[in-house]
Amino acid sequence: MALSPKQRLRNQVALVTGASSGIGAGVAKSLAADGATVVVNYHSDEEGANKTKQEIEEMGGKAIIVQADVSKEEEVQSMFKQTVEQLGTVHILINNSGLQDDAKFLDMTLEQWNKVIGVNLTGQFLCAREAAREFVRRGPQPEISKATGKIICMSSVHEVIPWAGHVNYASSKGGIMLLMKSIAQELAPHKIRVNSIGPGAIATPINASARDTPEEEKSLLTLIPYGRIGEPKDIGDVAAWLASDEADYVTGTTIFADGGMTLYPGFADNG
Ligand code: NAD
């Protein structure tokens, strides 16, 4: 990836949770390409975080690394404190960290439920709250961006598509929808924009097991009218636009970037 001539996010700091792999790494690179200084958060994959930082620097961008478990309040607060100490403030939060721990509903343990809700939903609450507190503390900087702050939640097509065998995950993403909309409603008077991206199937470690064999990949493609599995850059491009002033009138909405997965493809020739 190369630096974009537009530089829509120049002089802005973007914190990306879970930027050591997959979509988070892709979004971190897209935001850096558009001029943002990126805070690469990771949980346990330090090597992955170093790789993201190195790739950003190789294209001429700027990044720092901060470790934190997004499900732990004190670690999230420390992550924002370190960010403000090192970079002055934050303008953009990408609430990306997420995981799956799948089980049939009858077998799902409370531990599996709590683990997924803790990272995917509580983690987004904690990071959004700290980001919003920093946006309000810092106040508007219209010379840098029309909005005082931007929060982008990584949701999923499963904020609207039920998912048997993944009840904890689908519940976390459904929860993110109203978390995002309620925060957007509450923070709009502060000129803080809050939106979600709902990816479909993007080739990352989280779903590698669903793409193991050509047969599995073919079966996955039947769910995607556009006929290809997405790449992290597909989501990074949406995030960079959504964080920029080009999207200044967009708040409280989910943009599905899913090759049409939410179009009920099973009905395409079944009417
Ligand atoms: P991934 O496994 O590569 O990335 C998940 C990231 O979350 C990793 O970097 C991981 O370290 C981080 N993470 C996990 N637990 C954490 C914790 N406690 N604290 C901080 N970070 C933690 O998978 P991905 O596909 O890149 O997933 C990124 C986001 O995109 C997730 O929220 C996922 O639900 C969402 N998503 C992915 C797809 C897809 O098809 N890949 C589709 C829809 C939504």
Domain of 260, in residue numbers: 13-267
How many C-alpha atoms does 101 have within 13 Å on its Cβ side?
Answer: 17
Q: For residues 15 and 34, give the distance between their C-alpha atoms in angstroms, rounded to a whole number.
A: 14
Q: Is residue 197 part of a domain?
A: yes
Ligand 1 in contact with 40 (CB < 6 A)?
Answer: no
Ligand 1 in contact with 139 (CB < 6 A)?
Answer: no
C-alpha of residue 97 to centroid of ligand 1, in Å? 5
Nearest Cα residue to 18 out of 9, 27, 10 = 27
Q: What is the 3-state secondary structure (H, E, C) of the chain?
A: CCCCCCCCCCCCEEEECCCCCHHHHHHHHHHHHCCCEEEEEECCCHHHHHHHHHHHHHCCCEEEEEECCCCCHHHHHHHHHHHHHHHCCCCEEEECCCCCCCCCHHHCCHHHHHHHHHHHHHHHHHHHHHHHHHHHHHCCCCCCCCCCEEEEEECCHHHCCCCCCCHHHHHHHHHHHHHHHHHHHHHHHHCEEEEEEEECCECCHHHHHHHCCHHHHHHHHCCCCCCCCECHHHHHHHHHHHHCHHHCCCCCCEEEECCCHHHCHHHCCCC
Q: Is residue 194 part of a domain?
A: yes
> 20: which 2 tokens?
């050591």
Determine the atom of ligand 1 nearest the C-alpha atom of 48: 9
Q: Which has the higher per-residue pLDDT, 27 or 209?
A: 27
Ligand 1 in contact with 23 (CB < 6 A)?
Answer: yes
Q: Is residue 63 part of a domain?
A: yes
Task: Say whether pTM exceeds 0.95.
Answer: yes
Ligand 1 in contact with 205 (CB < 6 A)?
Answer: yes
Question: What pLDDT score does 271 carry?
Answer: 66
> Looking at 169, 226, 249, 264, which residue is catalytic?
169
With bands split at pLDDT 50, 70 and 90, how would you rate the model's confidence at 67?
very high
pLDDT in tens, 133-192: 999 999 999 999 999 999 999 999 999 999 999 999 999 999 999 999 999 999 999 999
Task: Count up the domains in the chain and report the number.
Answer: 1
Ligand 1 in contact with 235 (CB < 6 A)?
Answer: no
With bands split at pLDDT 50, 70 and 90, how would you rate the model's confidence at 119?
very high
Q: Which amino acid is at 30?
A: S
Question: What pLDDT score does 96 carry?
Answer: 98
On whether the CB atoms of residues 258 and 157 are closer than 8 A, the answer is: yes
Q: Is residue 2 part of a domain?
A: no
C-alpha of residue 125 to centroid of ligand 1, in Å? 16
| CATH code for position 215 | 3.40.50.720
pLDDT in tens, 6-36: 999 999 999 999 999 999 999 999 999 999 9
Instruction: Please determine, for residue 206, whether its predicted confidence score (pLDDT) is greater than 90.
Output: no
Q: Is residue 118 part of a domain?
A: yes
Question: 165: phi > 0 → left, psi -120 to 50 → alpha, else beta; which?
Answer: left
Task: Find the mean pLDDT for residues 89-116.
Answer: 98
pLDDT more than 90, % of the chain: 95
Q: Is residue 5 part of a domain?
A: no
- Chain centroid to CA 51: 18
Q: Is there a catalytic annotation at residue 169?
A: yes
Ligand 1, pocket-test mutation among 97, 155, 197, most atoms within 8 A of CB: 97
Mean pLDDT of the chain: 97
Strand partners, 193: 150
Q: Which has the higher per-residue pLDDT, 129 or 267?
A: 129
Q: Is residue 187 part of a domain?
A: yes
